[in-house]
Chains A and B, each alone.
Chain A
Amino acid sequence: MKLRLSPQTLLVLDAFLQQPEEWKYGYDLSRGTGLKSGTLYPILMRMAERKLLETAWEAGEPGKPPRHMYRFTPDGLRFARANAAAHAGGGLGQVALGLVAPGPVGG
């Protein structure tokens, strides 16, 4: 399961890890991570292609379009938690972007 862990990808993983059971919308993820749609969606596409994310359409209210939602698959959650453990001491994305110093790894 190869996924290039760019700082932006780590931010997205971090956002999903906040409430891993909940479905999330693209725009909310964009606001939460500060990523533009042109950066966010390629990451979501790669994660979905690698079966790290499951996607679903939410039936919209009348007059509103349906929304696409995303959440971790069990594999995705394991993958994100393993990476979070490796970057323990700060949010995944924050560490990757150099906003927080990484904590000690292991023991």
Chain B
Amino acid sequence: MVRVDGRGDGKSLIQIRGLDKTYQRGGEVIHVLQGLNLDVDQGEFVAFMGPSGSGKTTLLNLLGGLDVPSHGSITVAGDEITHMSRGRLTEWRARHVGFIFQMYNLIPVLTAFQNVELPLLLTNLSKSERRQHVEAALSIVGLADRTNHYPRQLSGGQEQRVAIARAIVADPTFLLCDEPTGDLDRKSADEILGILTQLSKDQAKTILMVTHDPLAAERAQAVLHLNKGVLVEGVAAMAGGA
């Protein structure tokens, strides 16, 4: 279930209450997010849409513990993250969040295997255990035969699949995808969305995705629209709000 009215039952995986984010630019105060509420249950696939500058990426950054809000709270799996120190947030991210970026952001000097292995280096897994996890993750995204390829030897779609494998390899609580198909052709985009849908359905992975692409948003179970820092539910609501 996904709610934006702040009246969730308190059992949702992700709970956001009264979230504000303001920036100071010059003498001007910019309100990016205003009093935002959100409840997302485990296993939901949620798409955030909205015009540029509406605060989608800011919301994702706040959810991922990469940024701190001006007001309000974010609770994920019982952890209130808004008051965590920078160090604790880093540890929390390692355990709970898998990031997928528009530009893949793979490390070019590492092979697909090594890129996917990165989050596991922060765990106590042995080398052979890490290998098993990496191979499993690469199999899920259909790249079991590309383990020793460097990013430059892969297509854009394949790079994004490696990025997905990196995001899921440590079995995080949820995935945050910032325009995961924004830099891909239609065919590759469909493949990536297929993998995300599969992760949501088969593995009950909670996925929050920012996208400009209506076809990508269609794959999600819920589509939320951000406009002028306020979240609204459904296509009709977006049309009304825009």
Bind each other:
no
| Residues of chain B whose beta carbon lies under 8 Å from any beta carbon of chain A | none
| Residues of chain A whose beta carbon lies under 8 Å from any beta carbon of chain B | none
